[in-house]
Amino acid sequence: MSVTVLTAEERISHATQLQLTWWRFRKHKVALVSGVIILLFYLVVVLADFLATSDPHATDARRSFIPPQAIHLFDDGKFRPHVYGLKGIRDPRTFRLRYAPDPERKLPIRFLGRGYDYNLLGLIPTNIHLFSVEDAGPVDGIFLLGTDQLGRDLWSRLIVATRISLSIGLAGVGVSLVLGVLLGGISGLYGGTVDTIIQRLIELLRSVPTIPLWMGLAASLPADWSVLQVYFAITLIISLIGWTDLARVVRGRFMALRTEDFILAAELAGASRGRIIFRHMLPSFFSHIIAATSLALPAMIISETSLSFLGLGLRPPAISWGILLQDAQSVQSLALAPWLLCSAVPVIVAILAFNFLGDGLRDAADPYG
């Protein structure tokens, strides 16, 4: 096989739509970085239990409000990562037990060590974690972000919450996407009365204030439902509003495309309706759908977080960003355990990253615009 070196111009003239979009997206550095951050977030989603250091549900009164621990990388000049053990000190004035690092006891960090049991990717039962501390006493362990009042490790909880919050956003967008493309497509393709009905429905849905609507719907969920059932119900409630935006985007694109000359050309050539929709129309705005989706995702995540924060969405023992923030809302936790506020950081980072990524994708989606 001969290797031919293509000139830049040659490369561009043979470039598919996807390549052009990618080349353009690559120039948008902020979006690119955001994309990497999002990928890392979803890596956490996939490997949540593997990255967690202790069981996020396990409570232990003795571990209550342990502050974040520092990791020490070197021991006597040699690379031997470890954390200090904890020493309980009774505060002479408040009689409250406080924990301070005890430099005398060094607990080595084991990579790929053993911890609590879980199913990797939901399939493979294992107890291997990325890192863990072994040979530990009851209050010894690795608490990267400290613990909450019930002695649960915040790092592990945050990791597991990321899985729930990001996947609920994805599932919500998935449902919205199906509804939006279907109804928006029908609306844009057929026009006329059907279009009028769908558009008025969208306006009706959008005119209902979302928080009271969600409150009403969430309150109607039976209290004895399992975490999984509530999860799906919340997804559906959130996407009930979410699809309207996507439907409008899709409708607009279909309407614009319907009058394009290349669509008429295909029709005159004798192409079937299905071929025109799937070969000519959908590919033309596929990239717009991706961009719209990545902009819809943060809205979904925020919706879930605010619902759960208000106590209307997921409920403990489920763990999500909203639930973690709910834990952090009392004055007591702010005064005694300010590290609980870390839960807000991934929310902010993820939402910003999604927005930048969506912006970059939208700009790149139309190389001719």
How far out from the chain centre does Cα 200 lie?
31
- For position 260 contacting another protein by CB under 8 A, the verdict is yes
Residue matched to tokens 């294992």 = 126
Instruction: With residue 81 as reference, give the H or E element that holds it.
Output: strand 78-90
Instruction: With residue 116 as reference, give the H or E element that holds it.
Output: strand 114-120
- For position 215 contacting another protein by CB under 8 A, the verdict is no
- For position 262 contacting another protein by CB under 8 A, the verdict is yes
- Only one of the segments 48-56, 90-98, 255-263, 301-309 lies at the binding site for another protein (rule: CB under 8 A); that segment is 255-263
Nearest Cα neighbor of 319 from 99, 49, 84 is: 49
Min separation Cβ 264 and another protein, Å:
6
Between 98 and 280, whose beta carbon lies closer to another protein?
280
Tell me how far apart the alpha carbons of residues 241 and 237 are, in angstroms, rounded to a whole number: 8
- For position 266 contacting another protein by CB under 8 A, the verdict is yes
- For position 22 contacting another protein by CB under 8 A, the verdict is no
- Give Cα separations from 208 to 180, 192, 201, 367 (angstroms): 18, 25, 11, 37
Q: Which of 122, 125, 209, 270 binds another protein (CB under 8 A)?
A: 270
How many residues touch another protein under the rule CB under 8 A: the total is 25
- For position 273 contacting another protein by CB under 8 A, the verdict is no
- Only one of the segments 14-22, 56-64, 114-122, 311-319 lies at the binding site for another protein (rule: CB under 8 A); that segment is 14-22
- Cβ 30 vs Cβ 360: under 8 Å: yes
Tell me how far apart the alpha carbons of residues 186 and 22 are, in angstroms, rounded to a whole number: 30
Min separation Cβ 109 and another protein, Å:
52
Neighbours of 214 (CB within 10 A): 22
Q: Contacts with another protein in 281-340 (CB under 8 A)? A: 283-284
Tokens, residue 75? 């021991």
Between 134 and 260, whose beta carbon lies closer to another protein?
260
Which residues contact another protein by CB under 8 A?
Answer: 12-17, 20, 260-262, 264-272, 275, 280, 283-284, 367-368
